Chains A and B, each alone.
Chain A
């Protein structure tokens, strides 16, 4: 087939995989890409309650599995009496940590060598609330829960750490002695250093040097659907339902369990997912319970559903929990020469991103030195929570706004003065853009100018602590910015098939919805590439991750998958046009006349799902007429004898795939060109410490907004989640006992519709400088991550005092004002 491509087409396909330069084969015009309207594929099911989630799965004879939670932050089960639980009516299986058939360790979510294989049901707990010791399967969840209260455990309590700074000290007790016997710090590469230039020299050359420190309390993701799974054995083959952002990794792990299972006999269903924001990616304390469910399912011969409790889900934390110290060298004009930063974080299960990362990728600051270190404490694991770049985003917001405050400058001026890349200024950035064929638009200026205007920045910004409103509150505004990102390092496989009978197109790819309406974007790409009407393209999620796509972890959707679907669409289009000039239905007795005789594929095109001859558009045939019916007796027997020609094109099917060198490839293959800018207006009640949000503007250069409503959804959602984190969110532990105090949705506070009730302005800038198809770039991870820190400068601008402890709650406002 590929031989039928024109040179131009071949070139286009080769370059599809090259996202390091500008998209050299965009479409001449967009009909559906960038359009509004067009129904969300998940819309009706979700709004009407028909959408099925793993929590909704109810199978005949299904048992419910529940786990014992450790009451202590660090403790081992010394002995356990489960006899009373076993005798309770309705209890069907009691799985103990010392069951001889359970493996000592299983593949439960290894990532980059961190945190290794773990026991699926541990006998030692490393944080309070950790599922440990015993799992009970019963006819109902309530019986399992009651049975757990009948288990008698003799615990061996062990010393524990909560505070990373204390845990780092030499004589601190070991938090995870089994995994990290050498100490709580500096284990397995959890130390990350970034050096650019010479920070010492930079400080020396600076007019001013400033040092400050702040802390951020760990918060959590709160996926609305509890982590859960259902396990059924169909003979030797497992059929599994999981709530998992990365179902393909579940399948990969599962294949190694229970003595090994071939991949092709595992059936894995990934239904709609009640969100997890990255949190639940392959963490042992999620995979372990699934292992247990499979084990119990085998033992009982019945399907087993496990669902962690709401509280059990609370223990995972964001990766920004920790202390930050920063030293900044700058000149009075706002030019920053050097930044040195160090942060001490907790329990990072992910390769950490250096806190100076965005400074390097996003500024002209020539001298950077960043040290990020992780310390093990007896809290839950820290994993990406919307994104692992919370710490660096927080640091860039704090540094720029602090420098602006010290210089008495508008923070936007400081941001513009220091824009650039890898220590070089905007000239270098412009040159890089030109070398790679991108447009010559300065994304930063574009974002800032449009945002300032929409927000009314020039009228609203003022010296800190100087504007009292008629209602008695203090007025403040905050600004932050960074570049756009998504972890576009990834791979994707997607296919397109043209349906028989009506010629509609089906996109076949892994089903793993994360709510961002990416599926609609893929339909738009395929429709424009094929020349189809949007309603003639549909995404058909596969129940099994047979086709891998880079959306399940949500770090990347369209910027990787978009290439794959575009690739597939271009091949299918070539197939269609080739088929249109080739004999329809080749048989043993010969072949039939082509639909477009005397033509080459280049003479034809497709528009609105109709194939037509470019030189004479009256020669046209709809896709439906072209593919015709899938006759039950085929083209040979009845059609021939009946004497008419039964058109029967060859199957029209193709896959596309993409192996992307993302901008977070360690080799850092291309700079970040696109920028984002955010604006927040607040009022602070200095008598109560209450903070009121009055205006938000988000400006994102998304390169190309393929699905603008989806982008805006991320701006709204990111702002609300980010501000909720900034205002309220922290996991609170009792320091004496290590017990989490607010592990529920009343005491852990996420914003309600009344807490972020101000207008949220959404501006999408399209410079075409992204690394996705058509110059697009991701938006989902960024805003919720960046907006977490913006409350700091806004409150500072209102009250004239910095609050160095996030979230910024009323008690801290009053304390900063000296009113406590």
Chain B
């Protein structure tokens, strides 16, 4: 049986209260919910990756690694242990190096993410110093080290050897390239400091 009365009512998608006409509903939503007229689905996230806005629907079980590597095709982040024990999938989230295999994508709404692709595109001197000092062998874990080192230099432009070791102590390299990382990170730090000096502190 048709319930014509119900159909004529306008239901708020946020709180399910009803209004008699669209105008009233519109005013209610803008006043009480301060949102756009239709709520976005709960699995809708917006995030900034390497400076670019991304808006997409994600499944709850997707990790940030899955989103970045498998869905967005940014394959620089690597999966080595998939259990938070190796650092190969490191990305910088709101300034901190974190393991993208241990972060749910759906919880990244509003976050700022930087991946190795972003570090490379910005021409960060770490890339060149890694190449120069052979801070790699098979290369699979290398992006994780680069990203972790980038986050270190962002907050500590002139790290000591001990500080570099500490910062990289969550990154495993099976090929055993650790000594070269120390050299590469220190050189990149010097390059950045010199750039900063040359440009009068602006960078």
Chains A and B in contact, CB within 8 Å: yes
Seen from chain A, the residues whose Cβ lies within 8 Å of a Cβ on chain B are 39-40, 42-53, 55-56, 58, 142, 221-226, 272-275, 277, 310, 513-517, 709-710, 712-713, 716-721, 724, 744-746, 750-754, 756-757, 760, 784
Docked-complex contact B174 and A713, CB < 8 angstroms: no
The reply to whether the CB of B61 lies closer than 8 angstroms to some CB of chain A is yes
Docked-complex contact B168 and A753, CB < 8 angstroms: yes
B116 contact set on A, CB distance < 8 A? 48-49
> Of A58, A142, A717, A753, which is within 8 A of B181 by CB?
A753
> Of B76, B169, B174, which is within 8 A of A49 by CB?
B76
9 extra interface residue pairs, beta carbon distance < 8 Å, beyond A49-B120, A221-B174, A716-B178: A47-B136, A48-B117, A49-B117, A224-B138, A274-B140, A310-B80, A718-B176, A746-B84, A754-B166
The reply to whether the CB of B78 lies closer than 8 angstroms to some CB of chain A is yes
A517 contact set on B, CB distance < 8 A? 134
Docked-complex contact B127 and A56, CB < 8 angstroms: no
Which residue in chain A gives the minimum CB-CB distance to B147?
Answer: A49
Docked-complex contact B176 and A721, CB < 8 angstroms: yes
Docked-complex contact B137 and A516, CB < 8 angstroms: yes
B140 contact set on A, CB distance < 8 A? 53, 224-225, 272, 274-275
Docked-complex contact A310 and B83, CB < 8 angstroms: yes
Decide yes or no: A46 and B174 within 8 Å by CB, A745-B86, A754-B165, A754-B169 being known contacts: no
Which residue in chain A gives the minimum CB-CB distance to B87?
Answer: A752
B195 contact set on A, CB distance < 8 A? none
- Determine the distance from Cα of A42 to Cα of B137 in the docked complex, in whole angstroms: 9
Mostly, the B contact residues are loop
Docked-complex contact B136 and A753, CB < 8 angstroms: no
Which residue in chain B gives the minimum CB-CB distance to A723?
Answer: B176
B166 contact set on A, CB distance < 8 A? 754
Docked-complex contact A49 and B138, CB < 8 angstroms: no
In angstroms, how far is the closest chain B Cβ from the Cβ of A30? 20
In angstroms, how far is the closest chain B Cβ from the Cβ of A281? 16
B97 contact set on A, CB distance < 8 A? none
Decide yes or no: A745 and B81 within 8 Å by CB, A49-B143, A56-B75, A713-B137 being known contacts: yes
Q: Digit string of B113-144 for contact with A (CB within 8 Å is 1, else 0)?
A: 00111011000001100111011111111110
B115 contact set on A, CB distance < 8 A? 49
Docked-complex contact A713 and B117, CB < 8 angstroms: no
Within 8 A of A (CB), among B173-187: 173-181
B80 contact set on A, CB distance < 8 A? 224-225, 274, 310, 745
A751 contact set on B, CB distance < 8 A? 176
In angstroms, how far is the closest chain B Cβ from the Cβ of A384? 15
Q: Digit string of B79-91 for contact with A (CB within 8 Å is 1, else 0)?
A: 1111111101000
Docked-complex contact B61 and A142, CB < 8 angstroms: yes
A39 contact set on B, CB distance < 8 A? 131-132
- Determine the distance from Cα of A807 to Cα of B125 in the docked complex, in whole angstroms: 40
- Determine the distance from Cα of A611 to Cα of B26 in the docked complex, in whole angstroms: 81
Question: Which of B61, B132, B139, B177 counts the most chain A CB atoms within 10 A?
Answer: B139
A58 contact set on B, CB distance < 8 A? 70, 73, 75
- Determine the distance from Cα of A275 to Cα of B77 in the docked complex, in whole angstroms: 16
In angstroms, how far is the closest chain B Cβ from the Cβ of A168? 33
B73 contact set on A, CB distance < 8 A? 58
> Of A43, A52, A752, which is within 8 A of B131 by CB?
A43
- Determine the distance from Cα of A224 to Cα of B144 in the docked complex, in whole angstroms: 12
Q: List 26 A-B contacts (CB under 8 A).
A: A40-B131, A46-B143, A47-B126, A47-B142, A48-B119, A48-B127, A142-B61, A224-B80, A224-B138, A225-B138, A272-B140, A274-B78, A275-B137, A277-B174, A516-B137, A713-B137, A716-B178, A716-B180, A717-B137, A717-B176, A717-B177, A720-B176, A720-B178, A721-B176, A744-B83, A745-B83
Q: Digit string of B99-113 for contact with A (CB within 8 Å is 1, else 0)?
A: 000000000000000
The reply to whether the CB of B46 lies closer than 8 angstroms to some CB of chain A is no
A274 contact set on B, CB distance < 8 A? 78, 80, 138-140
Decide yes or no: A753 and B171 within 8 Å by CB, A516-B137, A745-B81, A746-B83 being known contacts: yes
Seen from chain B, the residues whose Cβ lies within 8 Å of a Cβ on chain A are 61, 69-70, 73-86, 88, 115-117, 119-120, 126-127, 130-132, 134-143, 146, 165-166, 168-181
Docked-complex contact B78 and A43, CB < 8 angstroms: no
Docked-complex contact A756 and B120, CB < 8 angstroms: no
B86 contact set on A, CB distance < 8 A? 224, 745
Decide yes or no: A224 and B88 within 8 Å by CB, A46-B136, A275-B175, A310-B82 being known contacts: yes
> Of A46, A716, A744, A754, which is within 8 A of B139 by CB?
A46
Give the 8 A-B residue pairs with the shortest CB-CB distance, closest first: A49-B76, A46-B139, A720-B176, A43-B131, A274-B140, A717-B176, A515-B137, A48-B120
Question: Which of B83, B142, B168 counts the most chain A CB atoms within 10 A?
Answer: B142
- Determine the distance from Cα of A790 to Cα of B105 in the docked complex, in whole angstroms: 46
A222 contact set on B, CB distance < 8 A? 174
Docked-complex contact B136 and A52, CB < 8 angstroms: no
In angstroms, how far is the closest chain B Cβ from the Cβ of A780? 10
Which residue in chain A gives the minimum CB-CB distance to B75?
Answer: A56
In angstroms, how far is the closest chain A Cβ from the Cβ of B39? 27
Which residue in chain A gives the minimum CB-CB distance to B83?
Answer: A744
Which residue in chain B gives the minimum CB-CB distance to A42?
Answer: B139
In angstroms, how far is the closest chain A Cβ from the Cβ of B139? 3
Docked-complex contact B70 and A514, CB < 8 angstroms: no
Decide yes or no: A713 and B146 within 8 Å by CB, A142-B61, A224-B174, A750-B172 being known contacts: no
Which residue in chain B gives the minimum CB-CB distance to A762?
Answer: B179
Docked-complex contact B81 and A710, CB < 8 angstroms: no
Which residue in chain B gives the minimum CB-CB distance to A756?
Answer: B178
B146 contact set on A, CB distance < 8 A? 47-49
Docked-complex contact B175 and A746, CB < 8 angstroms: no
B139 contact set on A, CB distance < 8 A? 42, 45-47, 51, 272, 274, 515
B168 contact set on A, CB distance < 8 A? 753
Decide yes or no: A43 and B138 within 8 Å by CB, A49-B75, A142-B61, A745-B83 being known contacts: no
Which residue in chain B gives the minimum CB-CB distance to A142?
Answer: B61
In angstroms, how far is the closest chain B Cβ from the Cβ of A745? 4
Docked-complex contact B178 and A713, CB < 8 angstroms: no
B165 contact set on A, CB distance < 8 A? 753-754, 757
Docked-complex contact B85 and A746, CB < 8 angstroms: yes
B171 contact set on A, CB distance < 8 A? 752-753
B175 contact set on A, CB distance < 8 A? 275, 515, 717, 721
Which residue in chain B gives the minimum CB-CB distance to A753?
Answer: B178
In angstroms, how far is the closest chain A Cβ from the Cβ of B191? 14
A746 contact set on B, CB distance < 8 A? 81, 83-85
In angstroms, how far is the closest chain B Cβ from the Cβ of A514? 7
- Determine the distance from Cα of A719 to Cα of B137 in the docked complex, in whole angstroms: 14
- Determine the distance from Cα of A712 to Cα of B135 in the docked complex, in whole angstroms: 11
Docked-complex contact B83 and A713, CB < 8 angstroms: no
A753 contact set on B, CB distance < 8 A? 165, 168-169, 171, 173, 178, 181
- Determine the distance from Cα of A51 to Cα of B142 in the docked complex, in whole angstroms: 10
B135 contact set on A, CB distance < 8 A? 47
- Determine the distance from Cα of A49 to Cα of B139 in the docked complex, in whole angstroms: 9
A51 contact set on B, CB distance < 8 A? 139
- Determine the distance from Cα of A58 to Cα of B73 in the docked complex, in whole angstroms: 8
Docked-complex contact A716 and B131, CB < 8 angstroms: no
- Determine the distance from Cα of A52 to Cα of B82 in the docked complex, in whole angstroms: 19
- Determine the distance from Cα of A87 to Cα of B75 in the docked complex, in whole angstroms: 32
- Determine the distance from Cα of A52 to Cα of B73 in the docked complex, in whole angstroms: 11
Decide yes or no: A514 and B138 within 8 Å by CB, A310-B81, A716-B179, A719-B176 being known contacts: yes
Docked-complex contact A48 and B138, CB < 8 angstroms: no
In angstroms, how far is the closest chain B Cβ from the Cβ of A220? 11
